[in-house]
Structure 1
Amino acid sequence: MRERWPLIIFAVIVAAIPFIPGVPPFWIVLLDNIGLSALVAMGLVLLTGVGGLTSFGQAAFVGFGAYTTAVLSANYGISPWLTLPLSLLVSGLAAVLLGLVTVRLSGHYLPLGTLAWGLGLFYLFSKLAFLGRNDGISGIPPLSIGSLRMLDPGTIYFAIWAAVLISALLTMNLLDSRTGRAIRALRRGHIAAEAFGVYSPRAKLLVFIYAAVLAGLSGWLYAHFTRAVNPTPFGAQAGIEYLFVAVVGGAGYVWGGVLGAAIVVILKEVLQSYLPLLLHGEGQLETIVFGILLVTLLQLAPTGLWPWLTARLPFKPIAKKPDTTIKLPARMRAASTPGVLLQVDNARKQFGGVVAVNNVSFDVQAREIVALIGPNGAGKSTTFNLITGVLPPTSGNISVLGKAVGNAPPQDVVKLGISRTFQHVKLVPDMTVLENVAIGAHLRGHSGAISSMFRLDRGDEAKLLAEAARQIERVGLGDQMHQLAGSLSLGQQRIVEIARALCVDPMLLLLDEPAAGLRHMEKQRLGALLRDLRAGGMSVLLVEHDMGFVMDLADRIVVLDFGTKIAEGTPAAIKTNPEVIKAYLGADA
């Protein structure tokens, strides 16, 4: 990841600050508060900025961590260090219970859902007797190591910032992995991610739990920093403020969470200290000015201040090319499974009273290129969605190598060796070409989130990136490997999608308008690539509007019109078919 280089420098600076002569104790308190806020913001970076799940309820998870250690250490005398895993566990279990419902929401229902349970938990904290109701719990023992008791802000400072640095390292490791790419892919919608084997509910729940655990860690430290807890810091306003922290710093950037925490905490403190003096104590306008300044910051840097600052640095990190000599095990090739790969038998799809696909039947043989053509709205992309499990058929049968897949989810279909591109490009624009293509190899890797965080996945990761690099070079985009996908032309992005699909090592490749946006020579190279794939044992089913491209490439053509198959045959037969001419040119022609 590009953000790894500041870690050592930042750690040295943070460790040195308390030893600088003349540093006011108040600054240390301020840095402690920045660290506590940064932990929650890091979770939101992963949850909101990377995973695309907006949450206003993270303050409640801070409360779970704080109240767990407060009850156990103050009321039962358990060592604060022994309460740490329990605080994290309680926060994580609460996230599981809330996440099973919350992550299934989408659109505006998701943030409203998090706001609703955030308010409910705040009310619960203030009403439970064993939590002290509104008065909370006091007399919480300090953290201690041997004879060192962390009674003052200067000693607990190191515990707080050690937690921040370790969490930042683990978070960056997670993002720079197979699991991290799956999470990042969800931000652009679940359809493309699921087409390559990502289980989106599981990935969303994982990131939801991770963010809650970081918030619980912040709550645990907060309880032993203030040595008293009450419901006030865990309400809806705090949840909204944490989201502000992540967005201002740069939602999607780990160090943006730390920067955002510093800006928001310092800005609040400055306004609360000096604004009453400027206004002679008239009214409490700090919140209004605070909001105006945050909106102004977002106008200047809409993606956050961290990316705005890093874009202006005079040097850029040099990306290392993966070692393409490392190989992933290949799946069984189509050449060794002759016969019918795909059988579509009377497939039908209705949306209410609209019949999008009307009892369509065709097949795709091994080592064959089949084109699915027809006017706009003929049902071609819907047929693709039926084959790949994006949509279930209303009736009919779809089978791969004789195995019915009509109601199988996309993750099961891709396991059978079917991969695809999309009519409308579905890449993650702020990920590199290499990272986007590596998503296609998701099912060919095995490392999980825990091994990724501790860098135990490097061997697996090297193989996945090597496979992605090979496919990028195969489609002729080796020079663009480390560019952001969003910076490429539409035609190049379509080629990137083909490379991503090839990372599955499929036996059947479904291409939805692959030549759209390509220039003549690019189409020629694409045609040559598809012929090479066929010669290597792969079959191709493609939707395309460029008839010259189709006629020169396809072995067979299936023609749809208004969801109904009107013709099937060789390119020569289709050219002269009167039903096809009528569908494309009209009855008079």
Structure 2
Amino acid sequence: MTSRILPILVFALVMATIPFVPGVPPFWIVLLDNIGLAALVAMGLVLLTGVGGLTSFGQAAFCGFGAYTTAYLTTAYGMSPWLTLPMSLIVSGLAAVLLGIITMRLSGHYLPLGTIAWGISLFYLFSKLEFLGRNDGISGIPPLSIGNWKMLDPGSIYFPIWIAVIICALLSMNLLDSRTGRAIRALRRGHIAAEAFGVQTARAKLLVFIYAAVLAGLSGWLYAHFQRAANPTPFGPHLGIEYLFIAVVGGAGYVWGGVLGAAVVVILKEVLQSYLPLIFGGGGGQLETIVFGILLVTLLQLAPTGMWPWLTAWLPSGDSRKRPAPADALPARNDHRPDTGVLLQVDKARKQFGGVVAVNDVSFNVQAREIVALIGPNGAGKSTTFNLITGVLAATAGKVAVLGKSVSGAPPQEIVKLGIARTFQHVKLVPDMTVLENVALGAHLRGRSGAIASMLRLDRADEAKLLAEAAKQIERVGLGDQMNQLAGSLSLGQQRIVEIARALCVDPMLLLLDEPAAGLRHMEKQQLASLLRQLRDGGMSVLLVEHDMGFVMNLANRIVVLDFGTKIAEGTPADIKTNPDVIKAYLGAVA
């Protein structure tokens, strides 16, 4: 806790003393005010774009909602500026809900294009509405005040701006360091893995979109009372692009990178505006944008991930060997695993992609306390069958049932609640999260704290349990020494083991493993086989896809063989070894 709070307290103390330092030019205070206002918007973009992977060019419009709300209410109805603060945040948040419900459904390049579209639309809307003053905007906005002290100059409003920056930075850091934060960070690697562990991805996207909009609205509210006027110019799409530049230059995945990026970009713009006209004899106005762009590109070449990680790389790192503190065990999700009977029933499952039949009326089951292998040549439909079972794909025909209950058409979030967890053929970890954080995502459904509790740091008991469970599963699979390493720094084989630990955090009754032994050395495969036998003996069933026949034959109780989407054999390893159809599928008719 001290390691988090102490640097923030030092930073707050430094910022609080700057206005009282003798000889500080008033212009510097104005510059710091502008840096603080930009930093608030950039912090929202850090979470939205840098962490969540959702690019937005329209954040300036949310600044406009915050600014115009307080401008209208204070001038038309005489409301106190402080009373308009919650109204500005609510209006920005509601606008984000309406826009986010539509925009967050987009993906790929359609998402940033969508944000550009409504950013331009709102800019022109502000300039056309009569009650907002059209292009002239609203002037005569009253200043912020406390008692008889009116914040009329940049040096007085400096304090509300930077108090807001520090509080929002702390809230953002708390949010990222939580169950909700891990769900947001998982979005950047696609929705499939996150949904497989119960994350409601649409809700997580909307949450971070609203949060970024509220921070922008707060910046707009402060801007209106700083300038004491609001017109459409500062809320156009060009400012939206600039805010995104700020987040990227500072370090798109780092909260304090937003503050650093704001300082770099605002100061750089001011320097260019001041000195280019002197250098070019008054003709530097046209060159400002060109030079600004060149310098930003140069900065990104020197620090591709942003300036904040580049700077912090020079600082001494903390203890990377630290383990989570001991905590009470999470309640088991599957205390009543059946000892006998059918857990999973796949009945004539079929999946067509146009004219291609990937899975052709396949039927099999998985019993309690059983390891079943699903094998076949490449392209046999094994991973597609996994996706049908876990809800990633909807079956064209047939039925999938868990404990006799049909789950056909159910989303992945509902299927994992029944106690089915999985790994993936192509590893789906978040490479810039630690092994511990990646594995803790598997326990998402076993936590209860939401975003508000996380931001206020009221989730610590719940979070301690989740991290302790993640640490337990990491030790269980033999990767305790790599617990605090970034997942992207591990070998492919180790990453597959991390995925197994993440799946075990679900506390499943049925574990689906897609090529878990790929990339493992001989001894690692033996350790994995031993672990899977222990899981089976402990009451867990396993369904695995694997190409290593030695591994499969020595482990599985039963084997199901697919070829071109059709089941061609099922039986014990001894039966499968001598089955002529299996030999033909693997070795060819001549063999």
| TM-score, reference length from structure 1 | 0.99
Superposed CA offset, 1:45-88 (max 9, x none): 00000110000000000000000000001221100000000000
Kept in 2: contact 1:574–1:580 (CA 8 A)? yes
1:448-459 pair list within 5 angstroms: 448-459=450-461
Against the structure 1 CA distance between its residues 317 and 275, is the aligned structure 2 distance closer, same or farther, given a 3 Å change threshold? farther
Query: What's the offset of the Cα at 1:5?
Result: 5.3
Kept in 1: contact 2:43–2:169 (CA 8 A)? yes
Q: Which of 493, 501, 516 does residue 503 from structure 2 map onto?
A: 501
**Could you tell me which residue of structure 2 aligns to residue 570 of structure 1?**
572
1:411 aligned counterpart, secondary structure: helix
Against the structure 1 CA distance between its residues 251 and 3, is the aligned structure 2 distance closer, same or farther, given a 3 Å change threshold? farther
1:157-236 pair list within 5 angstroms: 157-236=158-237
Which whole-Å CA distance do the structure 2 matches of 1:14 and 1:319 have between them?
A: 34
Which whole-Å CA distance do the structure 2 matches of 1:508 and 1:13 have between them?
A: 55
Kindly provide the amino acid, as one letter, of the partner of residue 211 in structure 2: Y
Which whole-Å CA distance do the structure 1 matches of 2:371 and 2:259 have between them?
A: 52
Query: What's the offset of the Cα at 1:131?
Result: 0.3
Which whole-Å CA distance do the structure 2 matches of 1:459 and 1:425 have between them?
A: 31
Kept in 1: contact 2:513–2:542 (CA 8 A)? yes
Kept in 1: contact 2:66–2:91 (CA 8 A)? yes
**Could you tell me which residue of structure 1 aligns to residue 417 of structure 2?**
415
Which whole-Å CA distance do the structure 1 matches of 2:458 and 2:366 have between them?
A: 41
Q: Which of 582, 586, 589 does residue 587 from structure 1 map onto?
A: 589
Kindly provide the amino acid, as one letter, of the partner of residue 119 in structure 1: I
Query: What's the offset of the Cα at 1:326?
Result: 2.2
Which whole-Å CA distance do the structure 1 matches of 2:478 and 2:440 have between them?
A: 16
The alignment status of 1:322 with 2:318, answered yes or no, reads no
Which whole-Å CA distance do the structure 1 matches of 2:320 and 2:386 have between them?
A: 39
Against the structure 1 CA distance between its residues 383 and 4, is the aligned structure 2 distance closer, same or farther, given a 3 Å change threshold? farther
**Could you tell me which residue of structure 2 aligns to residue 528 of structure 1?**
530
Against the structure 1 CA distance between its residues 283 and 271, is the aligned structure 2 distance closer, same or farther, given a 3 Å change threshold? closer
Kindly provide the amino acid, as one letter, of the partner of residue 187 in structure 1: R
Query: What's the offset of the Cα at 1:472?
Result: 0.3
Kept in 2: contact 1:440–1:501 (CA 8 A)? yes
Which whole-Å CA distance do the structure 1 matches of 2:577 and 2:532 have between them?
A: 22
Q: Which of 400, 403, 406 does residue 402 from structure 2 map onto?
A: 400
1:111-510 pair list within 5 angstroms: 111-284=112-285, 285-316=287-318, 318=320, 320-333=322-335, 335-510=337-512
Superposed CA offset, 1:314-346 (max 9, x none): 343556311345200002246545200000000
Q: Once structures 1 and 2 are overlaid, which stretch shifts more, 326-335 or 518-527?
A: 326-335
Against the structure 1 CA distance between its residues 467 and 527, is the aligned structure 2 distance closer, same or farther, given a 3 Å change threshold? same
Q: Which of 548, 553, 556 does residue 554 from structure 1 map onto?
A: 556
Which whole-Å CA distance do the structure 2 matches of 1:334 and 1:368 have between them?
A: 16
Kept in 2: contact 1:334–1:539 (CA 8 A)? no
Percent identity (aligned): 82
The alignment status of 1:50 with 2:51, answered yes or no, reads yes
Kept in 1: contact 2:338–2:368 (CA 8 A)? no
How many residue pairs are counted as aligned between the two chains?
589
Against the structure 1 CA distance between its residues 115 and 560, is the aligned structure 2 distance closer, same or farther, given a 3 Å change threshold? same
**Could you tell me which residue of structure 1 aligns to residue 92 of structure 2?**
91
Which whole-Å CA distance do the structure 1 matches of 2:154 and 2:549 have between them?
A: 73
Which whole-Å CA distance do the structure 2 matches of 1:337 and 1:405 have between them?
A: 21
Kindly provide the amino acid, as one letter, of the partner of residue 459 in structure 2: D
Which whole-Å CA distance do the structure 1 matches of 2:348 and 2:335 have between them?
A: 28
Kept in 1: contact 2:327–2:465 (CA 8 A)? no
Which whole-Å CA distance do the structure 2 matches of 1:189 and 1:20 have between them?
A: 49
Query: What's the offset of the Cα at 1:252?
Result: 1.0
Q: Once structures 1 and 2 are overlaid, which stretch shifts more, 308-317 or 386-395?
A: 308-317
Kept in 2: contact 1:370–1:557 (CA 8 A)? yes
1:565 aligned counterpart, secondary structure: strand
1:38-77 pair list within 5 angstroms: 38-77=39-78
Superposed CA offset, 1:540-584 (max 9, x none): 000000000000000000000000000000000000000000000
Kindly provide the amino acid, as one letter, of the partner of residue 298 in structure 1: L
Superposed CA offset, 1:372-430 (max 9, x none): 00000000000000000000000000000001011000000000000000000000000
How large is the RMSD of aligned CA atoms in angstroms?
Answer: 1.1
1:553 aligned counterpart, secondary structure: coil
Kept in 2: contact 1:119–1:236 (CA 8 A)? yes
Against the structure 1 CA distance between its residues 3 and 232, is the aligned structure 2 distance closer, same or farther, given a 3 Å change threshold? farther
Which whole-Å CA distance do the structure 2 matches of 1:244 and 1:445 have between them?
A: 36
Kindly provide the amino acid, as one letter, of the partner of residue 430 in structure 1: D
**Could you tell me which residue of structure 1 aligns to residue 110 of structure 2?**
109
Superposed CA offset, 1:22-47 (max 9, x none): 11110000000000000000000000
Kept in 2: contact 1:434–1:468 (CA 8 A)? yes
Which whole-Å CA distance do the structure 2 matches of 1:358 and 1:128 have between them?
A: 60
Superposed CA offset, 1:150-184 (max 9, x none): 00000100000000000000000000000000000
Which whole-Å CA distance do the structure 2 matches of 1:336 and 1:522 have between them?
A: 30
| TM-score, reference length from structure 2 | 0.98
Query: What's the offset of the Cα at 1:227?
Result: 0.3
Which whole-Å CA distance do the structure 2 matches of 1:163 and 1:149 have between them?
A: 18
Superposed CA offset, 1:190-230 (max 9, x none): 00000000011100000000000000000000000000110
Which whole-Å CA distance do the structure 1 matches of 2:391 and 2:262 have between them?
A: 43
Q: Any unmatched runs of 5+ in structure 2?
A: none
The alignment status of 1:36 with 2:32, answered yes or no, reads no
Kindly provide the amino acid, as one letter, of the partner of residue 224 in structure 1: H
Kept in 2: contact 1:64–1:87 (CA 8 A)? yes
Against the structure 1 CA distance between its residues 34 and 325, is the aligned structure 2 distance closer, same or farther, given a 3 Å change threshold? closer
Kept in 1: contact 2:276–2:284 (CA 8 A)? no
Which whole-Å CA distance do the structure 2 matches of 1:54 and 1:20 have between them?
A: 40
Kept in 2: contact 1:3–1:255 (CA 8 A)? no
Kindly provide the amino acid, as one letter, of the partner of residue 243 in structure 1: L
Against the structure 1 CA distance between its residues 524 and 554, is the aligned structure 2 distance closer, same or farther, given a 3 Å change threshold? same
**Could you tell me which residue of structure 2 aligns to residue 19 of structure 1?**
20
1:181 aligned counterpart, secondary structure: helix
Kept in 1: contact 2:442–2:506 (CA 8 A)? yes
